[in-house]
Structure 1
């Protein structure tokens, strides 16, 4: 009997023909050769946290869960070589015990490092790039089954394509990341007026290593989060911090979300209640712990990277659209900031970016809301986060990514028969 697979939000469900769990690079190579010889296709799954059908297949689904762990850390160069199936949480815990930290992380650490790199996962900070930008070298096994090592100095063109590749070039087996000696952060949560945050936006971005904020629809309130390095001792996990993250941000919010799902007209009121409940507190701890926020209330998400200077206009249009259409949404809009990079399929390619994410509670219709927000994002040259919902196809994406054709050329060279493609990737890459 085929084993059904679901992504985190439940928006994608499928049954692969076979699930393979290789434990070594040699087993990965053998699996690829076998699949190619038998005319099957391969998709690789991490934690299934993407909201799009990136890994959906009725053929071979490969899990790298047996290929995890830190292989070595180069103390002089501050580089960590890790196996591609490792989750960010596992790596964070190992780094912590060895005295190292990630340069930056997003607020979820369930993803595998291969999946996070392949989709351009990011945190926030105007002087910091996405997780893929922290990669110094990669090893992948393409369709011929022969592993390739690439970096900025070796197979440089492939390196630019492989750092964000949606798993379409081959199977990643090893990743080398820049790391930092273990450091602590001071995390501050504040409830602020949206107008005040926008007036001081450039100051907040420049004066904080990490800054992000959440705007609550139908209100003028945001939760602003500031994280900065500190030499102060860890404050420990105080009762208020734990109560806020688990009881308020998840338990109480789940109850409110269920009320909104059952009675959608309550959404504006629920958003206002949530805004009034924004906590004001401060906490000091190791970086990999404070980057992460527990996400127990499930949702669907769309996120676009926009030119940073467009953010004020984008938010004004979003506010007007939500108010005009009275969309039944109570989840806050999340805004983060990422330094531009040179990675071909990175949404931050050659532009310092503001990433704007919209969410809809699982079980509530999201299409109209997401479509209206996407139209706004696209008017300002937005590029979709590859792990989040979007409606774009090959012709649209080719206009947004200057190196789109270069990426497709590399993909065709490495995988001319489409061994690593599924219907979704064929559509967005324009492959017949």
Structure 2
């Protein structure tokens, strides 16, 4: 199926493009045909999942390929504890499909609208010092290279290509199938509480060690921060949660926050007051649910986001410096800052390559100026060896990125082999790779 001439926007609306042709292929063979045609004609091609990246990673004014018709489970190997899925499968759907088979992913992020291919390709992560990014769960992939060749690989069959593909920013080919390592379905007990930020920072070593999944949100200009902890449990699923969750997640955290955000956009000087109000009203709750249903949070209020990976031990120092800078510069921001932990890995372009990591994400309500705020926060992250999340806003280009990733040059060699004509590169990726 093909559609043409329609404007495309990402989730926040900050990225827009008008592709000449948009394809919705229904098979691997069709994808290979599209790639081969683009190569013959010298056209550029990009792939889009859910459009949830804030960078222009998926933008194309030429050919755009959507994987929305390639969703679902291909096969399950119960003995090996693995599943092969179509790359366009959305994480929310995947969680339910796996649960029906008695399985689950070992960890997930707090958004479940992304496609599995988009999530792993950008280094998407959850939180927990014993868990890597979602890409660390991958044990096999099938990809259509920029040459049109279909390649299936594992770490055993193609060790270097596999390490490059796990987080590839969609630059090596169109991933069409993914094999994931699974575990049996499990339940999590979720608890949230409010504590002063100074107490939270003092207790970070204890909090991240004692809880399977730990993260916290702190609010500019406010002292309270919200702690979120999740741990495995055999307790029964919490009964009669639908109405309470709707009030907390939709009414309080989205409808009310959306109204306050709209007010703040109109009257930016209210930002500190709104931030303090939100901190004081942060949800304190406890519930038990199946893992795939509890990781994700409802996000109806749209925003733009920058997120950086830093060494795990730098979390408290970075936050203190951020707090001082926000207070000094008096930024008009009311969105909380999200702070998480991720185990280090050996994936070439993973921001967590070679180090246990902290991730810090800053947000700005859509339509409010974010550039100077993000730039000052980025300078702090970079002083601590920061690496940007590939799906979030950043200003780095090839010269700076090449010094942050030890395997950068080797990744470039693989990229040249997989896409010798550069048909998979758009303007954003050419800046990233210096091509």
TM-score w.r.t. the length of structure 1 is 0.99
Counterpart check, 1:289 vs 2:321: no
Say whether the 8 Å CA contact 2:147–2:420 is kept in structure 1: no
1:323-362 superposed matches below 5 A: 323-362=327-366
Say whether the 8 Å CA contact 1:241–1:281 is kept in structure 2: no
Counterpart check, 1:208 vs 2:185: no
Q: Structure 2: where are the runs of 5+ without partners?
A: none
Which residue does 2:413 correspond to in 1?
409
Q: 1:34 aligns with which of 34, 37, 53?
A: 37
Q: 1:54 aligns with which of 37, 53, 57?
A: 57
Q: Report how far residue 240 of structure 1 moved.
A: 2.6
1:225-374 superposed matches below 5 A: 225-236=228-239, 237-374=241-378
Counterpart check, 1:393 vs 2:397: yes
Which residue does 2:167 correspond to in 1?
164
Distance, in Å, in 2 between the alignment partners of 1:290 and 1:48 is 23
Counterpart check, 1:25 vs 2:28: yes
Counterpart check, 1:152 vs 2:127: no
**CA RMSD for the aligned pairs?**
0.8
Distance, in Å, in 1 between the alignment partners of 2:147 and 2:422 is 12
Distance, in Å, in 2 between the alignment partners of 1:241 and 1:93 is 19
Distance, in Å, in 2 between the alignment partners of 1:269 and 1:282 is 27
Counterpart check, 1:99 vs 2:102: yes
Task: Give the number of aligned pairs.
Answer: 431
Question: Is 146-155 or 386-395 further displaced after alignment?
Answer: 146-155
Q: Report how far residue 176 of structure 1 moved.
A: 0.5
Distance, in Å, in 1 between the alignment partners of 2:110 and 2:267 is 29
C-alpha deviations, 1:45-72, integer Å up to 9, x for none?
0000000111111111000111110111
Distance, in Å, in 1 between the alignment partners of 2:199 and 2:293 is 29
Look up the SS of the partner of 1:212 in the other structure: strand
Counterpart check, 1:428 vs 2:432: yes
Say whether the 8 Å CA contact 1:139–1:173 is kept in structure 2: yes
Say whether the 8 Å CA contact 2:125–2:134 is kept in structure 1: yes
Which residue does 1:375 correspond to in 2?
379
C-alpha deviations, 1:54-97, integer Å up to 9, x for none?
11111110001111101112111111110101111110111122
Look up the SS of the partner of 1:228 in the other structure: strand
C-alpha deviations, 1:146-195, integer Å up to 9, x for none?
21111110111000000111111000011001111110000001011111
C-alpha deviations, 1:93-115, integer Å up to 9, x for none?
11122211111111111101111
Look up the SS of the partner of 1:48 in the other structure: coil
Distance, in Å, in 1 between the alignment partners of 2:147 and 2:251 is 51
Distance, in Å, in 2 between the alignment partners of 1:238 and 1:230 is 20
Which residue does 2:83 correspond to in 1?
80
Q: Structure 1: where are the runs of 5+ without partners?
A: none
Q: Report how far residue 238 of structure 1 moved.
A: 4.7
Q: Report how far residue 416 of structure 1 moved.
A: 1.3
Say whether the 8 Å CA contact 1:114–1:172 is kept in structure 2: yes
Question: Is 73-82 or 388-397 further displaced after alignment?
Answer: 73-82
Q: 1:126 aligns with which of 121, 125, 129?
A: 129
Say whether the 8 Å CA contact 1:68–1:86 is kept in structure 2: yes
Which residue does 1:12 correspond to in 2?
15
Q: 2:191 aligns with which of 178, 183, 188?
A: 188
Question: Is 251-260 or 372-381 further displaced after alignment?
Answer: 251-260
Which residue does 1:70 correspond to in 2?
73
Say whether the 8 Å CA contact 1:216–1:222 is kept in structure 2: yes
Q: Report how far residue 242 of structure 1 moved.
A: 2.4
Look up the SS of the partner of 1:36 in the other structure: helix
